[in-house]
């Protein structure tokens, strides 16, 4: 039986970051308006642990929403010390955190190693300096390279997050960022389409006509190619699309851009749509039975049954059936009645 992985998220919005990237308002993106106190953190951990299945589980605590290693060292140690008893009791296996590339140094890495941090995710966003500069990131691509090497050298697992559709970005630049993520040895990544959040610099640029976000179809297409590339290179994709915080869902904070509650499903629908079109492009008939892996059935059918509807235009009767014997994105045409 495979282990079930769980991550308990602790959000610390903008606690240390002095930068204001053009796209950023962490409080609105995460839906968290204040830094949690110690009791709140402990309650969050206990609540999550009680909701997880006891057997065959791997649990990690993740510090997200800010630049953790930019916090004063004593504050970092305070947060990390707070959760050590969960690790000692083997209720939690490890800690992961996200931070900026320019907030990594030997002193920080030594502290994190001491307190059972296993994975460090860097907000690389792009490996194109023009994109980083236009986005007011405050660091260079080379700093991400140096931080990544240091993280791996100190024995941590490396995650590199990327954003698509930033100012100055192109599909080619995003694909190059993906290639650099692979080359640097990242074991995981997250792919975030850039959206325009209220009261950010991008919001002003959008109103002035200086910035145009990707259309949803464009963002899905870019992400489709990125996802397939990362899969090919065995990089674990932890997330596709922005987390749907309350403000964004209500439409209060989202101004424009390719946000969708089911963004990942849209991407996987497109991937299966391409497979189905390629396999069945020369086929027609009154009936089709198509077997796909059990885990892929929803994506093969498609968001709002898009792929099934597409096939129904060529075949009168369409059945897309889950098959436990199939893996990955394998498929089997079981029957076509002419």
Per-residue confidence (pLDDT) for residue 246, from 0 to 100 = 54
Helix runs in 124-200, H state only:
129-134, 141-153, 171-183
Model confidence over 197-235: pLDDT tens digits? 998 999 999 999 999 999 999 999 999 999 999 999 999
Domain segments of the chain as ranges: 4-261, 279-337
Give the residue from 319, 245, 330, 335 showing the smallest Cα distance to 296: 330
Model confidence over 38-97: pLDDT tens digits? 999 999 999 999 999 878 899 999 998 778 898 889 989 999 999 999 999 999 999 999
Torsion of CA 6, 12, 14, 15, to 10 degrees: -140
Higher pLDDT: 122 or 245? It is 122
Higher pLDDT: 29 or 329? It is 329
162 neighbors 189 (Cβ within 8 angstroms): yes
DSSP assignment letter at 193: E
Q: How far apart are CA 62 and CA 227, in angstroms?
A: 23
Position 14 pLDDT exceeds 60: no
**pLDDT averaged over the chain?**
91
Q: Confirm or reject CATH 3.90.420.10 for domain 4-261, answering yes or no.
A: no
């Amino acid at each position: 039986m495979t282990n079930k992985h769980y991550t308990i998220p602790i959000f610390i919005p903008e606690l240390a970051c002095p930068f204001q990237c053009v796209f950023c308002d962490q409080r609105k993106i995460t839906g968290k308006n204040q830094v949690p106190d110690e009791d709140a953190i402990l309650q969050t951990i206990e609540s999550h642990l009680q909701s997880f299945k006891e057997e065959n589980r791997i649990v990690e605590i993740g510090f997200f929403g800010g630049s953790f290693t930019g916090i004063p060292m004593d504050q970092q140690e305070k947060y990390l010390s707070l959760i050590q008893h969960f690790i000692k009791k083997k209720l939690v296996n490890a800690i992961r955190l996200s931070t900026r590339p320019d907030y990594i140094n030997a002193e920080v890495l030594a502290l994190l190693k001491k307190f059972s941090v296993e994975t460090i995710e860097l907000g690389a966003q792009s490996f194109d300096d023009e994109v980083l500069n236009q986005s007011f990131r405050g660091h260079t691509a080379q700093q991400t390279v140096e931080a990544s090497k240091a993280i791996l050298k100190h024995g941590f697992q490396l995650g590199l997050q990327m954003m698509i559709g930033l100012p100055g970005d192109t599909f080619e630049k995003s694909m190059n960022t993906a290639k650099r993520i692979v080359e640097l040895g990242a074991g995981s990544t997250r792919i975030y389409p850039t959206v325009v959040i209220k009261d950010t610099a991008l919001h002003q640029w959008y109103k002035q006509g200086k910035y145009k976000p990707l259309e949803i179809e464009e963002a899905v297409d870019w992400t489709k190619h990125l996802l397939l590339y990362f899969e090919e290179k065995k990089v674990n994709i932890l997330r596709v699309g922005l987390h749907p915080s309350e403000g964004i869902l209500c439409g209060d904070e989202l101004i424009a851009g390719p946000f969708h509650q089911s963004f990942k499903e849209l991407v996987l629908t497109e991937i299966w749509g391409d497979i189905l079109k390629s396999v069945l492009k020369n086929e027609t008939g009154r009936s089709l039975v198509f077997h796909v892996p059990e885990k892929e059935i929803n994506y093969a059918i498609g968001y709002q049954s898009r792929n099934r509807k597409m096939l129904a235009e060529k075949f009168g009767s369409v059945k897309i059936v889950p098959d436990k014997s199939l893996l990955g994105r394998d498929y089997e045409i079981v029957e076509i009645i002419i």
